[in-house]
């Protein structure tokens, strides 16, 4: 019976001890997490193509054209024309 009460007392002391310790360290922990999150979310925007300071002098005067085939609609002449319709009741 004595060891059971001792175990319960140790568990309660550890619980309340950690609660007090985390109360003091919570502002520092939140500040650290916020800093890491802002670094992580700001990282993709660091390579700004319109930022003049990130350009190299070697790239001046060089023109590059990237062609993309996005959203090109081609119709198949064998199938015919598509007609959108609505059902009437």
The predicted structure's pLDDT at residue 75: 58
Residue with tokens 């992580």: 40
Confidence at residue 77, expressed as pLDDT on a 0 to 100 scale: 62
Q: Where are the beta strands (DSSP E) in 5-86?
A: none
The mean pLDDT values, 10 residues at a time, for the chain of 89 residues are: 91 96 92 90 62 56 74 63 76
pLDDT at residue number 51: 53
Category of 71 on φ-ψ map: left (φ > 0), alpha (ψ -120 to 50) or beta = left
Please answer whether residues 54 and 48 qualify as being in contact, where contact means their C-beta atoms are separated by less than 8 angstroms.
Answer: yes
């Amino acid at each position: 019976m004595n060891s059971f009460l001792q175990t319960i007392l140790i568990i309660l002391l550890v619980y309340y001890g950690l609660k007090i310790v985390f109360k003091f360290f919570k502002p520092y922990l939140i500040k650290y997490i916020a800093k890491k999150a802002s670094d992580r979310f700001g990282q993709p925007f660091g390579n700004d193509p319109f930022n003049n300071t990130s350009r190299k002098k070697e790239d001046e005067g060089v023109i590059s054209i990237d062609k993309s085939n996005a959203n090109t609609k081609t119709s198949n002449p064998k199938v015919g024309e598509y007609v959108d319709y609505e059902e009437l009741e």
